[in-house]
């Protein structure tokens, strides 16, 4: 649903390059931008950064949209809304060319003819001297006319932005606080490639400026781009957004997640049965200690979101934490979202909802409903060695007495009344009654309240299982 954006309201964005599957770190970035927009009643833009045509992967575009939609991270502007020129960089070439022309005309940018070989040698020499590689400004003072002549003669050239040569570049990072970089530490970056396409740094900043983005939360790998992008936007008379840089997310072994590995991709989690609200609640807390322990929807997560409280050190993906949120999400899931997963046909139609309600607190994934359906309704029940041992800890009479008593019960039993009754009848109290009975009926030593299990089961199935248990217990007696 489109929310109304108030004037001077916050606008955040997620700007993936469609070069592969999104990983959980990318999705956390998207989520944090959504939360910031929601918290402040703003808008969220999904911009597809596909200006580097050679690296695009057509299927990645659809996968990105599908992943975000599955998580409920809907966008107010982006694919499916308005014209591609509003959100897709490959449709905006003219915008970039005209801004590049403007910078050139103002002498804020210059043509650079340095060959790849010269640049490689320069980098190698700087590295040898222990310096950080940066462009040395070799072409910065070429007269414009000479540059134009060389281009007209067909010599390839990139366009570079002139960075200030002295002083400090400062900005206040939304996550990391005050940042200061000496201007001369940064070389003049390429803003237009030799083939005329806009370089990432240029298209990315320009679009933020032109699209009215007010806040950008993005990966820390872009931290060093920020001062350059701020200079760029200033030269174009555009307002730069406030930037915040998020720490990396690593895999369980501590290695950075990569788009190529796809190890913890959303599609995999979806297929494994994770619920979107579990993934969202997990991601919202990854490197973010500022939230309580409750399962929240996006608005609830947004209310407590504060970028300055985000961690500055890497956050590690932790499957057990994700599973914790999955269990919480499962316990709170509504019936309608669970029923479609119950595909086993061994239970009567009128008991489907009661089964879901009964076992919901005991399962982590919806497909486990089918295991419970089998366990409580199938003709055959497989018994583990533990089950057999528990059953054989009682005698045939124990199961026979319970079977007989239940046979005489009319309708549902009240376990408060029936438990003491069965204890008196069998002479077995507490675990001595419950454990073998539970194993005999369900094949498991744990599960939902035993009285409720007894009530849910079909009486004939219940009988068959008690009689089988009696026979097994009897066999043990004879042995």
- Residue ranges that bind ligand GLU, judged by CB under 6 A: 15-17, 49, 204, 216, 218, 222
Rounded least distance, CB 94 to ligand GLU, Å: 20
Rounded least distance, CB 54 to ligand GLU, Å: 15
In Å, what is the CA distance from 135 to each residue of 146, 190, 231, 290, 350? 20, 10, 17, 41, 74
Nearest in space to 437 (alpha carbons), one of 462, 416, 410, 456 = 462
Rounded least distance, CB 1 to ligand GLU, Å: 25
> Of 203 and 390, which has the nearer Cβ to ligand GLU?
203
Strand 249-250 vs strand 315-316: parallel, antiparallel, or unpaired?
parallel
Name the closest residue to ligand GLU (Cβ). 218
> Of 222 and 270, which has the nearer Cβ to ligand GLU?
222
Q: Output phi, psi for 297, to 5 deg.
A: -85, 180
Rounded least distance, CB 100 to ligand GLU, Å: 19
Rounded least distance, CB 202 to ligand GLU, Å: 12
Rounded least distance, CB 29 to ligand GLU, Å: 7
Rounded least distance, CB 15 to ligand GLU, Å: 4
> Of 204 and 426, which has the nearer Cβ to ligand GLU?
204
> Of 221 and 386, which has the nearer Cβ to ligand GLU?
221
Q: What angle do CA 149, 153, 159 make, to 5 degrees?
A: 65
> Of 218 and 438, which has the nearer Cβ to ligand GLU?
218
Pairwise CA distance, residues 139 & 134, whole Å: 13
Rounded least distance, CB 207 to ligand GLU, Å: 9
Strand 215-219 vs strand 242-246: parallel, antiparallel, or unpaired?
parallel
Rounded least distance, CB 78 to ligand GLU, Å: 14
CB atoms < 10 A from the CB of 117, how many? Answer: 8
> Of 17 and 442, which has the nearer Cβ to ligand GLU?
17
> Of 229 and 326, which has the nearer Cβ to ligand GLU?
229
CB of 53 closer than 8 Å to CB of 20:
no
Rounded least distance, CB 210 to ligand GLU, Å: 14
> Of 17 and 288, which has the nearer Cβ to ligand GLU?
17
Q: Bridge partners of 160?
A: 110, 190
> Of 222 and 432, which has the nearer Cβ to ligand GLU?
222
Q: Bridge partners of 216?
A: 243
> Of 55 and 303, which has the nearer Cβ to ligand GLU?
55
């Amino acid at each position: 649903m489109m929310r109304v954006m108030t004037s001077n309201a916050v606008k955040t964005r997620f700007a993936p390059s469609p070069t592969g599957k999104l990983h959980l770190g990318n999705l956390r970035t998207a989520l944090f931008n959504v939360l910031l927009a929601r918290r402040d009643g703003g808008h969220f833009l999904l911009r597809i950064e596909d200006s580097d045509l050679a690296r695009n992967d057509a299927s990645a575009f659809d996968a990105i949209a599908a992943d975000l939609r599955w998580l409920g991270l809907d966008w107010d502007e982006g694919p499916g809304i308005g014209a591609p020129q509003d959100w897709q960089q490959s449709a905006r070439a003219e915008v970039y060319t005209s801004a590049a022309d403007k910078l050139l005309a103002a002498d804020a940018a210059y043509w650079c003819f340095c060959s790849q070989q010269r640049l490689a040698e320069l980098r190698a020499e700087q590295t040898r001297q222990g310096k950080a590689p940066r462009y040395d400004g070799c072409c910065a003072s070429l007269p414009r006319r000479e540059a134009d002549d060389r281009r007209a003669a067909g010599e390839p050239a990139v366009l570079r932005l002139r960075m200030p040569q002295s002083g400090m570049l400062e900005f206040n990072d939304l996550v990391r606080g005050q940042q200061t970089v000496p201007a001369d530490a940064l070389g003049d970056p390429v803003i237009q490639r030799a083939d005329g396409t806009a370089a990432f740094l240029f298209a990315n900043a320009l679009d933020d400026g032109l699209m009215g983005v007010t806040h950008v939360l993005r990966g820390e790998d872009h931290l060093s781009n920020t001062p350059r992008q701020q200079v760029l936007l200033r030269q174009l008379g555009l307002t730069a957004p406030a930037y915040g840089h998020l720490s990396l997310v690593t895999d369980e072994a501590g290695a950075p997640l990569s788009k190529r590995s796809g190890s913890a991709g959303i599609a995999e989690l979806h297929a494994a049965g994770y619920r979107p609200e579990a993934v969202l609640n997990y991601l919202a807390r990854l490197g973010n200690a500022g939230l309580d322990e409750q399962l929240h929807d996006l608005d609830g997560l947004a209310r407590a979101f504060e970028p300055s409280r985000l961690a500055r050190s890497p956050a590690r993906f932790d499957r057990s934490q994700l599973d914790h949120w999955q269990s919480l999400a499962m316990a709170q899931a509504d019936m309608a979202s669970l029923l479609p997963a119950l595909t086993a046909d061994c239970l009567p139609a009128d008991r489907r909802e009661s089964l879901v309600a009964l076992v919901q607190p005991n399962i982590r994934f919806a497909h486990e409903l089918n295991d419970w359906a089998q366990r409580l309704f199938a003709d055959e029940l497989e018994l583990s060695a533990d089950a057999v041992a528990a059953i054989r800890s009682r005698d045939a009479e124990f199961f026979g007495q319970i079977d007989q008593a239940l046979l005489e019960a009319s309708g549902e039993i009240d376990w408060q009344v029936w438990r003491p009754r069965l204890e008196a009848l069998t002479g077995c109290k507490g675990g001595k009654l419950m454990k073998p009975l539970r194993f005999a009926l369900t094949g498991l030593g744990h599960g939902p309240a035993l009285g409720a299990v007894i009530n849910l089961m079909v009486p004939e199935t219940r009988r068959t299982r008690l009689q089988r248990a009696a026979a097994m217990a009897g066999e043990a007696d004879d042995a």
